[in-house]
Amino acid sequence: MIKILIVDDDPHLIELLSEILESFDYDSEFITRPKFLMDILKSEPFDLILMDYYMPEANGVTLLKGLKQHPVYQEIPVIMLTSEIDDQLLAECFENGAEDFINKPISELVLHSRIESAINNQKNLNQIQAQRDELEDMLQTVKKYSSELKNEIAAKDQALNLLKTTFDGMAEGVITLDSHFIVKMISAKALQIMELNEMDAMGKPATSLMGNAIAGPNGLMVECAGKKTGISNKQTQLLCPSGSIIPVSISITPLKKSVSNASWLLFFRDRREEEHLVMEKANVVNFGNMISCDLKMKEIFMLIENIATSNATVLIQGESGTGKELVAQEIHNRSRRAQKPFNAVNCAAIPANLLESEFFGHEKGAFTGAHQLKKGRFELAHEGTLFLDEVGEIPVELQGKLLRVLQEQKFERVGGTRPIEVSVRIVAATNKNLWQSVQDKTFREDLYYRLDVVSIKLPPLKDRLPDVSLLITAFIERLNKSEHRDVKNFTGNAIQKLVHYTWPGNIRELYHVIEYAFAVSKGDILRSTHLPEKILRGSQSEEKPEIPPVQSEKDMILRALEQTSFRKGKAAALLGISPNTLYRKRKKFGI
């Protein structure tokens, strides 16, 4: 069983970490006084150390330096924990040998992923080092006792074959490169991950096989070569020759001596399945072009799945920017009409006097300027789906004609006399209270009931704040492709500001904020200084209190616990809060 040592002076955090580690079948011990670190390491072996950066008696970097200088304990991976994060602090930790770094509050899923990655990485690096030393010894022995050069060459070939066999047996991809980053050797797993055959890889530059993030002018290989050092367990993306973008965790080690004249050893793990499992554990649902861990949104996804194959009219209600057109598109994509047109019209963007022609088309000469026949949106959407966005803006005088078309599925073009029959499914959307419009006599009641067959009410983003971090990741990935950038993420401080903003403009506003950050930044990390002033000031909206009423918050926590069979780490992930916060709220509400 994997054994982990926790070094932290916070008893509440230790209790939470111990509980989380136990749920992952890890054994753990802890100390709250840094001065006892060497004593406990002498008494029993540990596979990994979780160490707080700030402690009263000593900071974590001082302890880290001592560990990495100790011949016995320097191989134990150390993951640093802190509630504050900046580039200088990160650099200090990694320069002194930290394996990884986790920001508080600690996510159960991130913790599990980082621990597994650190331990597996250490095991595999130890295995590679042992094999490399063994082969070097073999070659030196052969050189010493060989009387003929051909024997030395044969021995070297034998050693290379043995090394290749060793690499081929590994579950991770392995590549060796020379000083010019040319591929000297590539393992079977690496070929499988990159969808290559060996002939297409051997002797090729790493840039053409792995992309700029790893081997480009500003990539990880150049960074390692400049510093004359390696990196460990770096998460990045592999751009394959096929065009596939694969998330990987990569370690790069400089080789001082090698049987294959290689200068660099690259060891990488395909993280696609790992990311999928993390998303599953977090109860994250990818639904077409939408993503959410919110309970209400999951119910909406299920409703869409159930009604998509019917021909029922759907009314989507929600604030501007909540993704109403995405929902309409998803209903169409999952329907029997998916191969037919999806036609969207924004009723608020078209002048009232042109709407009838826009909907139904017009005959040539029907009015001044009608120089040719024009098909309307209903005709263009025949056998498909017509999305009427901002349907509440349709003038009352046109609503009766729209109702007739919905009921009879036939209409006449403006200036025409021949009925045109169509088969169109209607999905309508509005950011208004449409029933209030009925009460105000600005929307026909009979049309309202004809549209409101299936009702979908989208929650505003401020009611699903745990989704903000998911959307940030998705939008960064989208903008990286369109802007040809390699942005990794926002800093922890910037993410905190984004998560605590109330987003009056909803998902559309969030996208534009990230688009702004891309425009004003240059590097691969987005910072608080790259955010608009309104985000730095915080939301000015006071329509609702930021903290929900105690009773409703208690109900929400109970519901999450019930849905996760009272697995507290999973419940915290579902609620979008840290296990530490969940622990405090459980005590507060007596749960």
Residue-level pLDDT at 57: 81
pLDDT(411) > 50? yes
The share of the chain scoring above pLDDT 90, in percent, equals: 34
Pinpoint the residues of the chain covered by CATH 1.10.10: 550-589
pLDDT in tens, 6-42: 999 888 888 889 888 988 889 999 998 888 898 899 9
CA angle centred on 510, ends 505 and 515, rounded to 5°: 125
| Total length of the chain | 591
Tokens of 465: 């704040």
pLDDT(286) > 90? no
Of residues 480 and 552, more confidently modeled = 480
Tokens of 409: 């599925």
Q: Mean pLDDT throughout 62-73?
A: 86
Could you tell me if 48 and 4 are in contact, meaning their C-beta atoms sit under 8 angstroms apart? Answer: yes
Q: Mean pLDDT throughout 322-349?
A: 94
Any idea which of 84-93, 409-418, 546-555 has the lowest mean pLDDT? 546-555
What letter represents residue 129's amino acid? Q
Between CA 10 and CA 1 the distance in angstroms is 25
Pinpoint the residues of the chain covered by CATH 3.40.50.300: 295-458
Helices (H), 24-107: 37-43, 60-69, 87-95
Dihedral sign of CA atoms 248, 249, 252, 253 in order: negative
Pinpoint the residues of the chain covered by CATH 1.10.8.60: 462-537
pLDDT(500) > 60? yes
pLDDT(49) > 90? yes
Pinpoint the residues of the chain covered by CATH 3.40.50.2300: 3-106
DSSP-assigned beta bridge partners for residue 270: 248
Tokens of 205: 């530059």
Q: Mean pLDDT throughout 262-276?
A: 79
Question: In the 8-state DSSP scheme, what is residue 460?
Answer: P
Residue-level pLDDT at 150: 47
Q: Mean pLDDT throughout 386-411?
A: 94
CATH number for domain 295-458, candidates 3.40.640.10, 3.30.1050.10, 3.40.50.300, 3.30.70.360: 3.40.50.300
Write out the E strands in 405-523: 410-411, 420-421, 425-430, 454-457, 489-490
Question: In the 8-state DSSP scheme, what is residue 591?
Answer: -
Q: Mean pLDDT throughout 461-488?
A: 90
On average, the pLDDT of the chain sits at 83
462-537: CATH number: 1.10.8.60
What letter represents residue 338's amino acid? A
pTM, two decimals, is 0.49
Tokens of 6: 């926790």
pLDDT in tens, 239-266: 888 767 788 888 888 887 554 567 888 8
Residue-level pLDDT at 121: 77
Using DSSP, state whether 513 is helix, strand or coil. helix
Query: What's CA 431's distance to the chain center, in Å?
Result: 29
Q: Which fold has domain 550-589?
A: Arc Repressor Mutant, subunit A (1.10.10)
Asked if CATH classification 3.40.50.2300 holds for the domain at 3-106, the reply, yes or no, is: yes
pLDDT(277) > 80? no
pLDDT in tens, 530-572: 999 999 887 444 333 333 333 356 777 777 777 666 777 666 6
Any idea which of 75-84, 115-124, 153-162, 363-372 has the lowest mean pLDDT? 153-162
pLDDT(578) > 90? no
- 116 — pLDDT class (breaks 50, 70, 90): confident
pLDDT(149) > 70? no
pLDDT in tens, 418-446: 999 999 999 999 999 999 999 999 999 99
Helices then strands, counting H and E runs in the chain, come out as 26, 23
pLDDT(381) > 70? yes
What are the residues whose beta carbons fall under 8 Å from the beta carbon of 280, sequence distance 6 or more?
none
Asked if CATH classification 3.30.450.20 holds for the domain at 142-277, the reply, yes or no, is: yes
Between CA 41 and CA 71 the distance in angstroms is 13
